[in-house]
Amino acid sequence: MRLVFSCIETPIDLVAGVPRVLEVENRKLFCRACRSLNRGDMGETDYVGVWDGERELSRKTTLCVVSDPLHLPWKDSRLDGQIFSTFEGLVFEDEETRQSIEQSIKDIQQQIAIRSFQLTGSYHFALEWDVIKFLKTYSYSVDQMTENSYLDSLISFLDFAHDMRFNGVLVFIGLKNFLSADELKSVYERIFFHQFYVLLLEREHDERKFAPEVKTHVNLQLLEE
């Protein structure tokens, strides 16, 4: 996988499980890189392209940009929108589980039907039961770990993205500002475990070198336009 910024000369090659760090010290260039990530279509002045070999991929489906690491994109449609279908698949791939759930539903419906005999009118269920309707009705969702540490919440988000089979590129802007060295190592371990494609776009140059990361440092003095 490769990211090509129109405002940065060097393409950014990404390897699954290996955090890629792009440090851009020039304020103007950093701003342009951030803007290209948040819009970045080819028609814009600044853009970023996503490539898999010789094939250009859709930004809309491939890039998940976390502009503010304190507000993780739990509701991104490529993640949150997959919860119900994912769990439906889990239920139906195990025959014993499926039969057990369906029998439980029949038992509940039977108990309600028995009670309805005490009423004068005739009553019935107008809709068939299914897993997705049940999950939606009871607002089944991922635990965002908001009461825990930021690290716990971030790890939970990465696990969530993996569970939802996200296979695009996760881009974090300024993530290192919120993590200690040990916490960053824990995040890197999770990235490797899930084999994510990840880019960290950072404003400051970090002299520290963490074993798994690959770093590109850009410090250009741009001419005024």
Q: Are residues 111 and 68 in the same domain?
A: no
pLDDT in tens, 173-182: 999 999 999 9
Give the count of domains, the chain.
Answer: 2
Q: Give the three-state DSSP class for 119.
A: coil
Q: Which H or E element spans position 114?
A: helix 95-116
Exposure b/e, 151-190, CB count within 10 A at least 16 = b: bebbbbbbebbebbebebbbbbbbbbeebeeebbeebbeb
How many CA within 13 A on the CB side of residue 40?
Answer: 24
The pLDDT score that the predictor gives to residue 224 is 39
| Residue 150 lies inside a defined structural domain of this protein | no
pLDDT recorded at residue 225 = 36
Which range marks the domain in which residue 33 is found? Answer: 2-74+166-218
157: pLDDT strictly greater than 70: yes
Closest CA to 205 of 25, 17, 3, 18: 25
Q: CB of 39 within 8 A of CB of 145?
A: no
What is the average pLDDT value for the chain, to the nearest integer? 90
**Are residues 28 and 10 both part of a single domain?**
yes
At 20 the pLDDT is: 98
pLDDT band with cut points at 50, 70 and 90 for residue 129: confident
Q: Is residue 51 part of a domain?
A: yes
pTM: 0.86
Does residue 149 sit within a domain? Answer: no
Instruction: Name, in order, each residue with C-beta under 8 angstroms of 51's C-beta and a sequence gap of 6 or more.
Output: 1, 2, 3, 4, 57
- The answer to whether residue 222 scores a pLDDT higher than 80 is no
Would residue 205 count as lying in a domain? yes
Percent of the chain with pLDDT over 70: 95
d(CA 16, CA 61): 17
Where does the pLDDT of residue 44 fall: very low under 50, low under 70, confident under 90, or very high at 90 and above?
low
- Give the number of other CB atoms < 10 A from CB of residue 221: 8
Task: Establish if 223 belongs to a structural domain.
Answer: no
pLDDT in tens, 198-213: 999 999 999 988 989 9
pLDDT of residue 40 exceeding 80, the answer is no
Predicted local distance difference test score (pLDDT) of residue 223:
39
Query: pLDDT of 20-39, one tens digit each?
Result: 999 999 999 999 999 999 87
Task: Identify whether 153 is part of a domain.
Answer: no
Same domain, 176 and 65: yes
Is residue 156 one of the residues assigned to a domain? no
pLDDT of residue 168: 96
Q: How many Å separate Cα 211 from the centre of its chain?
A: 24
